Amino acid sequence: MEQHGVQQVEVEILPNEIINYSASGIEKINEVDLLVKKDFDIIKNMSESLEHTYRVKQIWRTECEMRYAVLDDTNFPTTSSKYWQIVREQDVFFTALVELSIDYQKAQGELELLEIEYDEIKNNTKKSQAQRKIKDADIKRQKFAITNMKLHAHDRVRELALWEKFKQEMVNKEDFDVNDVNKHQYETFKLKWEKQMQLAQQAGKSDLYRNAKQNLDTLRNQEELDFNISQNSKKIS
């Protein structure tokens, strides 16, 4: 199914612990006397809706946002410039996924320590009961944090896959250097600054116009210098 030229991505099946996040949360709320019965019943009756909200909520960018808000034609007026922005975005997301995997490992270890510490509270004194209550709360918080990490990781993979899809679209569209980012920039920046000047004039944004013009003038001055050097070289030869 396509909508406005954007291929819709089907929602993948998530792990049960993520799907049951809201139900688990309601259980946690019910274990303590935070809410009066009337308020708890309201939350309980919303269980299915809350589960759906948690499962489909937006975390990272949608395909529409990526395609039109990130890869806009003003900042990235050429196919090659779009490709290299995709490379930047994909690299940032993969790096974040690696860092998240490290945080996940640490969080798992911290959870294991919390559970060990809980088991080590042996006595049944009031102090021990309070310590177990605090430790149990720490364990629940850590489990929820780990579940959220999984959900964020899942959505990072979704966006990474979309960036890969976009990369292939750019490569299939036209031939350009995919190994040297510098190759496209001369033509790209020229078009970008020309468009920015036009938009700045239309919107009355003097700062944007001045900055774009300064950059474009510098580029054109270099063009003129290179042309003169080339012409002089031809005369000498």
Q: Is there a single domain that holds both residue 131 and residue 197?
A: no
Q: Is there a single domain that holds both residue 92 and residue 173?
A: yes
Q: Is there a single domain that holds both residue 113 and residue 127?
A: yes
Question: Which of the listed residues 57, 73, 90 is the one where a domain comes to its end?
Answer: 57
Q: Is there a single domain that holds both residue 83 and residue 170?
A: yes
CA distances from 130 to 40, 115, 127, 228 (A): 24, 15, 5, 83
Q: Is there a single domain that holds both residue 80 and residue 152?
A: yes
Q: Is there a single domain that holds both residue 34 and residue 70?
A: no
- The alpha carbon of residue 154 and the mean position of all alpha carbons in its chain are separated, in whole angstroms, by 11
- The alpha carbon of residue 28 and the mean position of all alpha carbons in its chain are separated, in whole angstroms, by 30
Query: What residue numbers bound the domain in which 125 lies?
Result: 62-179
Helices (H), the chain: 16-19, 21-31, 37-45, 47-56, 63-64, 79-119, 126-173, 182-203, 206-236
Q: Is there a single domain that holds both residue 66 and residue 174?
A: yes
Q: pLDDT tens per residue, the chain (237 residues)?
A: 444 444 444 445 566 666 677 778 888 888 888 999 999 999 999 998 998 888 889 999 999 999 999 999 999 999 999 999 999 999 999 999 999 999 999 999 999 999 999 999 998 999 999 999 999 999 999 999 999 999 999 999 999 999 999 999 999 999 999 999 999 999 999 999 999 999 999 999 999 999 999 999 999 999 888 888 877 777 766
Domain count, the chain: 3
Q: Is there a single domain that holds both residue 171 and residue 67?
A: yes
- DSSP for residue 33: T
Distance between CA atoms of residues 59 and 93, nearest Å = 13
Summarised one tens digit per residue, pLDDT across range 181-197 is 999 999 999 999 999 99
Q: Is there a single domain that holds both residue 93 and residue 192?
A: no
